[in-house]
Amino acid sequence: MTKRFRVVHQASTLKRAALEMLFNPRSRVDHITALQDIDFTVAEGETVGIVGRNGSGKSTILTLLAGIYRPSFGCITVRGRIGSLLDLGAGFHHELTAEDNAIMAGMIHGLTRAQSLDRVPRVIDYAGLEGFADTKIKHFSSGMILRLGFSVVIHTEPDVLLVDEVLAVGDETFQRKCRETIGQFQRQGKSIVFVSHDLDTVAEVTRRVIWLDAGRLRMDGPSGEVLAAYRAEAAR
Amino acid sequence: MVTASRPVLVTDSTRPGVLAALRELWGYRELVVELSKRSLQLRYKNSVLGIAWSLSTPLMLIFIITLVTKRLMNQNIPNYSAYLFPVMFAWSFFSMAIPESCGVLIDNAALVRKVYFPRELLPITVVVANLVHLLIAMTVALAYLALLRILPRQVNWQVLLLFLIIPAQCAATLGIGFIVSSLNVLFEAVRYVVIVAMQIMLYAVPILYPIERVVAATQHPWSHPWLDAWLRPHFVQLYLLNPFASILVLYQKALLPPIQNAGIPALPWSWGLLGQTWLISVVILVAGAMVFGRFKWTAVERL
């Protein structure tokens, strides 16, 4: 699978586009290749970590897996319900209550209204927001919003969990709780793709790690080996 | 834990079939209702009158136009304001939904960039939320016609024609919404083009003048010989090709008794015009869906 992006050098305007179309219809647009010839399979129940430097394409892979982008070449198949933890609280509205946001977000993540309603008490409970269910989230601390966001997604009962750095946010207690939940998911045989800069967490959570280097798959193997090689290169 | 009913998401550089795409959208119908409810709820959260505010602008315009027509232009048409009610409310639907569609992807960028759901839902939600306004407004218009004692006498089963006009109106608006929402992400100027186009469009639809005036204008020779020969004979048909114009004409003809103006006999209700409007609206919807399908992926990357 390969993902290319068009490079936008300047804010695109209608005038430029129209002129291009008129005078230079075959003009080549610049592309950058964010991911080149990436090919991997995550087995059911497997947790795979993705490491790499900034801009190596880690988040792009998750965005592609989530179905938000589509590959320029090649094909991605994801079997099962996807729980995307790319951003906690994405789409929350500050003027709505915690409960309304939870219902909404559950539906955006693919639940029916009935399912979403049914899960709301558990979502609120897990997020530790009892007593705040009918408070507008504009009055919440950022930590409370993150907890609610995380709670909504894990209660959609995903088969495949896409995690992007979210375990690095929130306080100690919340991080521990997230870690526990991830462990629970692993025991339940769900597949997890896990992106992080925190190599210790990656080592702790995953058995297999993919190392991305400038959009190419540099190494794919047992986490100990890959992380050691990655650390060695980073130290140089 | 393998279950047979597990969803499978395949993304590649091809496009899914129309049926598969429609089936997916249907699966999200509850979300459309919920998103529309949210948008209405948020818009009117802090006002006692709530949704009634949406009627304030068209009502004010109706008042002003009636005043200008009757007092300044001395057009003494009985119950002129009654003719304005349905068309002004219908126009209000276009003029709110289309500019709103422009920004719908950008306004929801935080969500669109982080969670997958069919992007089509967002422009659809704009139309559904505005449809609620339209239905309330049309109820008010019918109440007003009843108050003026036009409704019970002249109109009876014809009120049902509204249910044939409104879906066509929604289809045309959604088609345009698809186009402007996706293109506006790629070109910021689209928003300004739309605003100007809507201003111009106000004069290309029969609100400030009855459709009979357009017919009257084609009855006498025009000064420009070329336009007179080529444009004048087809002008009314061309005018009515514009779905904005033909939809407003349909509203008026369905609800109101014929109006005598400019010595031209009133145009009757026309099933042909309804059919033509449906055809054009569906073409706009399909074209809009195609444009959206073509540009939605690029748009998401640019958000």
B30 closest CB neighbour out of A5, A84, A112: A112
Half-sphere exposure of A204 (CA within 13 A, CB side): 12
Closest among A232, A90, A218 to A149, alpha carbons compared: A90
How far is the alpha carbon of B242 from chain A, nearest alpha carbon, in Å? 24
Burial A74-91 (b: 16+ CB within 10 A, else e): bebebebbbbbbbbbbbb
Range list of H helices, A58-97: 58-65
Q: Select from B12, B26, B37, B106 the residue whose CB has the most chain A CBs within 10 Å, as the one to mutate to test that interface.
A: B12
Q: Work out the pLDDT band at B3, boundaries 50, 70, 90.
A: very low
Three-state DSSP class for B119? Answer: coil
C-alpha B131/C-alpha B134 separation (Å) is 5
Q: Show residues of chain B in contact with A190, CB under 8 Å.
A: 1
Q: Work out the pLDDT band at B1, boundaries 50, 70, 90.
A: very low
Average pLDDT, rounded, for chain B = 86
**Interface contact A6-B10, CB threshold 8 A:** no
Digit-coded pLDDT (tens) for A95-139: 889 999 999 999 999 899 999 999 999 999 998 898 999 999 999
How is residue B201 written in tokens?
A: 């469009």
**Interface contact A66-B302, CB threshold 8 A:** no
Section B240-267 average pLDDT: 83
Which pLDDT score, from 0 to 100, does residue B4 have?
43
Digit-coded pLDDT (tens) for A49-92: 999 998 888 889 999 999 898 888 888 888 888 998 888 887 78
Residues facing B111 on adjacent strands: none
pLDDT > 50? residue B90: yes
**Interface contact B186-A12, CB threshold 8 A:** yes
More confident call, B247 vs B17: B247
Q: Show residues of chain A in contact with B297, CB under 8 Å.
A: 69-70
Size of interface A-B (CB pairs under 8 A): 117
Section B247-265 average pLDDT: 80
Domain boundaries, chain B: 22-302
Q: Show residues of chain A in contact with B35, CB under 8 Å.
A: 104
**Interface contact A68-B116, CB threshold 8 A:** yes
Return the residue of B nearest to A59 by Cα.
B114
Burial B113-151 (b: 16+ CB within 10 A, else e): bbbbbbbbbbbbbbbbbbbebbeebbebbbebbeeeebb
**Interface contact B9-A104, CB threshold 8 A:** no
Section B96-104 average pLDDT: 94
Strands, sheet with A208-213, edge to edge from the N-terminal-most edge strand: A82-85, A160-164, A191-195, A47-52, A208-213, A216-222
Three-state DSSP class for A57? Answer: coil
Digit-coded pLDDT (tens) for B135-193: 989 988 888 888 877 655 555 677 889 999 999 999 999 999 999 999 999 888 899 99
B10 closest CB neighbour out of A5, A77, A87: A77
Q: Show residues of chain A in contact with B5, CB under 8 Å.
A: none
Closest among B278, B216, B217, B274 to B249, alpha carbons compared: B274
User: Taking a C-beta distance cutoff of 8 angstroms, is the pair A66, B8 a contact?
Assistant: no
Cα-based angle B30, B34, B40 (whole degrees, multiple of 5): 145
C-alpha A12/C-alpha A16 separation (Å) is 7
More confident call, B247 vs B65: B247
**Interface contact A14-B193, CB threshold 8 A:** yes
Backbone φ and ψ of A211, nearest 5°:
-105, 120
C-alpha A30/C-alpha A99 separation (Å) is 46
A91 closest CB neighbour out of B13, B110, B298: B110
Average pLDDT, rounded, for chain A = 86
**Interface contact B111-A81, CB threshold 8 A:** no
Return the residue of A nearest to B183 by Cα.
A14
C-alpha B148/C-alpha B71 separation (Å) is 20
Return the residue of A nearest to B108 by Cα.
A91
Q: Select from A68, A103, A115 the residue whose CB has the most chain B CBs within 10 Å, as the one to mutate to test that interface.
A: A68
Digit-coded pLDDT (tens) for B47-61: 666 777 778 888 888
A67 closest CB neighbour out of B2, B11, B38: B11
C-alpha B138/C-alpha B146 separation (Å) is 12
Return the residue of B nearest to A90 by Cα.
B111
Which pLDDT score, from 0 to 100, does residue B2 have?
40
Q: Show residues of chain B in contact with A163, CB under 8 Å.
A: none
**Interface contact B9-A78, CB threshold 8 A:** yes
**Interface contact B115-A11, CB threshold 8 A:** no
Digit-coded pLDDT (tens) for A153-186: 999 989 999 998 776 666 788 888 888 888 999 9
How far is the alpha carbon of A226 from chain B, nearest alpha carbon, in Å? 28
User: Taking a C-beta distance cutoff of 8 angstroms, is the pair B89, B52 a contact?
Assistant: no
How is residue A156 written in tokens?
A: 């959609």
Three-state DSSP class for B103? Answer: coil
